[in-house]
Amino acid sequence: MANISVVGVGYVGLVTGACLADLGNQVVCINRSQAKSDNLRQGILPIYEPGLEEIVRRNNEAGRLHFTIDWDKAMAEADFVFIAVGTPTGTEGEADLAHVNASAVEIAQRIHKPVILINKSTVPIGTGDWVADIVRDIRGDEVEFWVVSNPEFLREGSGVYDFMHPDRVVLGSTSRQAAERVAELYYPLGGETIITDLRTAEMIKYASNAFLATKISFINEIANICEALGADVKAVAHGMGTDHRISPHFLGAGIGWGGSCFPKDVKALVHMAELYGVRPEILRAAMHVNYDQRKRLIQKLRDIMGGFRGKTVGLLGLAFKSSTDDMRDAPSISIINMLQHEGATVRAYDPEAQENATRLFEDVIFCDDPYQVAQGADALVLVTEWNEFKQLDMARVKSLMRQPVLMDGRNIYDAKRMTEMGFVYRGMGRGYNGEGSG
């Protein structure tokens, strides 16, 4: 059993703190909002993540998980301090380290015994050294401490599972002994432990996310070629994915990636590369292809409808992916903005992200279910691949619509069946497999 403090109760911090408590550790999570801490003590979470609410409740009741705004209380007994605060995109694409800096200062002012500081936030290469300098400038040699980089690889929607079943645990430090002590926290979970220097560990995180983002952009570019040449990207992706060198993961063509990680991390890596004279052409292309997919969907829909002025378009899904309520850089934001700019009325429904979406849009008609979205719509756009959209009564959906135009932004529907039912169906990269020109 270890005494652990976690700075930040966002997605990464809350999952990390709750799961470490579930492994039997004493965990104190600190943030700056009294209301948020009070809510968490009552089991009211600021995010939606499957399974997380139960773990928070269970460990609250067991007395292993605590929430506070009191830095002195959080640091009092800590042997390990995880920094899990936001690193949003700055004005030039760089990662904004203001929250990391503030956390390092607060920690340095309060540590009074040997402690290991663990960077869990996604931070630019060299941040571990920078954090060490901040603490050393404030405390000198008064307190012994070590900095370890421990990047997270959690997927929103399966974060609890990913934490408890890691593919690998990456630890970077100037002290192998410190890294091995952190590795002991993860020992019950299995998975390969990879110990490196600080900068290599930080780079592993960026390189991993950049590769996955590029893989999605690659299959989207292949999808566009498939449309032009009359092939079906779903079959192409399946054929590619059976090759063990490629794998089927992240080969789903559609409207591109969004969320809090891929856009931010790819921009930050491009920024870092350019600062040091490297031309990251593949990463730049990955970003361009990604954002072009959203415009491509609008173009395809415009070609069918002849324009959007006076038309009603319904969106099925708003979150950037299923099993989350995260609206950060969600493709739905761009799609709604483009539709409204061209005069469309937008109706929308999402089972989890609706409350967050209402803070972004005042003039979207938010509905209670998918059928209400379809009522009187001239077109439906499938934006997020929620399971409940996969088994809709499509005959009922069609009967409610003014015009049966269905734009499948995630390729979850059977093209031939939708066409046979009377929909004007378009997927992304579906060639001539039952729906004409794509």
C-alpha 193/C-alpha 201 separation (Å) is 12
C-alpha 129/C-alpha 311 separation (Å) is 55
C-alpha 435/C-alpha 438 separation (Å) is 6
C-alpha 431/C-alpha 428 separation (Å) is 8
CB distance 310 to 402 below 8 Å: no
Options 19, 29, 226, 261, the catalytic residue: 261
Query: What is the edge-to-edge ordering of all strands in the sheet holding 145-149?
Result: 65-68, 26-30, 3-7, 80-83, 115-119, 145-149, 168-173, 192-196
Q: Which residues contact 293 (CB under 8 A, 6 or more apart)?
A: 220, 254, 255, 256, 331, 428
C-alpha 186/C-alpha 193 separation (Å) is 9
User: Please, what is the end-to-end C-alpha distance for the chain in angstroms?
Assistant: 57
C-alpha 101/C-alpha 223 separation (Å) is 43
Q: Which of 139, 118, 115, 114 is nearest to 128 (CA)?
A: 118
DSSP of 34-70: HHHHHHHHTT--SS--TTHHHHHHHHHHHT-EEEES-
Q: What angle do CA 260, 120, 157 make, to 5 degrees?
A: 45
Say whether 261 is catalytic: yes
C-alpha 200/C-alpha 103 separation (Å) is 23
Q: Which residues contact 251 (CB under 8 A, 6 or more apart)?
A: 215, 216, 219, 237, 240, 241
Backbone angles phi, psi at 206, to 5 degrees: -65, -40
Enumerate long-range contacts of 33-37, CB under 8 Å, 24 or more apart.
Answer: 33/69, 34/69, 36/9, 36/67, 37/9, 37/67, 37/68, 37/69
Q: Is the dihedral of CA 174, 179, 31, 320 positive or negative?
A: positive
Percentage helix, strand, coil, to 5, in the chain?
Answer: 45, 15, 40
* Active site residue ranges: 261
